[in-house]
Amino acid sequence: FRAQYNSPLGFRVEGIYTPIMHAETYAQKGPWVPNKVTDLKSKIGQLPATLATYGDLMKASTLQDDLYPDTNKLEYGQFGGYVNFSVGPVDLGVSYYNGHYKQVSANLTGLIAAGTLAKTGGSSSPLASVLGPYAANPMPSLHYDKLQSFGLDAQTALGPFTLRSELVYNLTKDTDGNDPWTHNNSIGYLFGFDVGLPVHNLNLNVQMTGNVILKKNEIKDNKIVFASALPGISTEAYDADYDPTGKYTNHKIVVQLQDKFYYEKVTATIKAIYGIERADLILMPEVSFKVRDGWKATASGLVIHNFDKKENSEFYGWLDNSFIQLAVNYTF
C-alpha cells in the first residue's frame, strides 16, 4: 500500500506499508553459498554427533532442513515514511523504516549447552542438572531482528558535479550490545558525486559507503552464564555481528564509468568496488546493445579478488567465482 502527498508548500510526503516481508534468500548449495550460511550450517551439522553423544538419536535422525521463520504473516508487516523538501539549492530528505532485518539471526543457546554437556559426560555429567534444560532443545532458533531505521539524505549541484550524501541509524532491541543473538545498533553513511566528463559521453560516478557497528567491545565480552556457580561461556564466535577479523567497520569505494556510442545504442560500463578494511576488489564490466525496439543484447562479467588474507575477505567462498555471461532481453 502506498500513499503520496505533494504539498503546495513545496514538500512531498510518502508512506508505504507491506503486510508481509520477503526476507533475503541465499543459495544453500553450489558456488554462491555465502560464508555466513556455510558457517551456520556447519554449526547445525555438529548436532547429530553432539546429540548422539548423550543418546538422543531420535532427534539426531530427524533434524529439520528448513529452520527459517515464515515471514508471510502480519507480524512481519513493514512501514516506511519519507519527507522530501528543498532548502535553497539543496534537496533534503528524512526517512523512517519500521520492520525487521532481512538477514536471519540465530539463537544458539541450546546448541552451546548441548555441546558443553556432551564434552563433560552427557547425561551423567555433574553439569547435567544445570545444562540439561537448555540442552533439551539444541536446535538453533532462527529469527529476524526487529529494526527501526532513521535516515537523512541530501543532494545538490555544484558546477558540473551532482553531490549526494546519506546517513542512517539502525536501531534494534540490543541497544546495549549485550545480546549475542540480536544485531547491535549501527550507523551507515554514503557520500559521493557524479559528473559528465568532457570526453565523448563519459559519465563518472564515485561513492564512499560506510557501516559502523556500535558497542563492538560487547561482542568480545559477551558470555552465557547458565548458573552463578559456573564460569561464563564466551559467545563471541556465535554473535550475530561477529567478524573473525575483529573489524566492525566496513567501508567501500564504488566507482562507475559509463560511455555511450552509436547514437546511444551501445552502452559500455565498468564498475569497481574496493573494500578498504579487507582489501577486496570487485570489477563488473558490461556492454549492452539496443538491437531494435524492445530487444537488447548484453555481455557482462564479474571479477572478485582479495589483496590480503583470503579467509578475511567479505566474499570468502566466492573468490573463485569470476565469470562472463551473455544475455538477450525482450521488453514488451
Q: pLDDT-derived band of residue 124, with 50, 70 and 90 as boundaries?
A: confident
Predicted confidence at residue 206, as pLDDT, reads: 98
**Which of 73-77, 240-244, 274-278 is the least confident region?**
240-244
**Position 322 pLDDT exceeds 60:** yes
Domain count, the chain: 1
Task: Give residue 142's pLDDT band: very low, low, confident or very high (50, 70, 90).
Answer: confident
With a cut of 70, say whether residue 229 has pLDDT above it.
no
pLDDT at position 58, please? 39
Q: How big is the chain, counted in residues? A: 332
> If pLDDT is split at 50, 70 and 90, which confidence band does 51 have?
low
126-154: average pLDDT: 87
37: in domain: no
Residue 63: the pLDDT is 43
Tell me if 86 is assigned to some domain.
no
Would residue 279 count as lying in a domain? yes
Q: Tell me if 331 is assigned to some domain.
A: yes
Q: Which of 194, 61, 71, 87 is nearest to 144 (CA)?
A: 71
* C-alpha cell belonging to residue 136: 533439551
Is residue 291's pLDDT more than 70?
A: yes
pLDDT of residue 223: 85
Asked if pLDDT for residue 52 goes beyond 60, the answer is no
Q: What is the pLDDT of residue 50?
A: 57
Neighbours of 57 (CB within 10 A): 11
pLDDT at 34: 75
Judge contact between 123 and 54, C-beta under 8 A: yes
The answer to whether 165 and 189 are in contact (CB under 8 A) is yes
* Domain-embedded: residue 93: no
Q: Which band of pLDDT confidence, cut at 50, 70 and 90, is reported for residue 60?
A: very low
Residue 57 scores a pLDDT above 50: no
Tell me which residue range forms the domain holding 306. 255-332
Mean pLDDT of 174-179: 92
pLDDT at 158 over 90: yes
Per-residue pLDDT tens digits for 70-121: 899 999 999 999 999 999 999 999 999 999 999 888 888 888 888 778 777 7
Percentage of residues of the chain with pLDDT beyond 90? 55
Domain assignment present for residue 302? The answer is yes
Task: Strands of 183-294 (E only): list them.
Answer: 186-196, 203-213, 223-224, 233-234, 249-261, 266-275, 280-292
- pLDDT attached to residue 227: 67
The verdict on residue 325 lying in a domain is: yes
d(CA 243, CA 29): 23
pLDDT tens figures, 249-267? 999 999 999 999 988 899 9
Beta-bridged to residue 155, according to DSSP, are 91, 164
CA–CA dist 274, 129 (Å, integer): 51
| Segment 287-312 mean pLDDT | 92
Q: Is the model's pLDDT at 53 over the cut of 60?
A: no
pLDDT at 20 over 90: yes
Alpha-carbon span 31 to 25, nearest angstrom: 15
Name the pTM for this structure: 0.86
Residue 275 domain-assigned (yes or no): yes
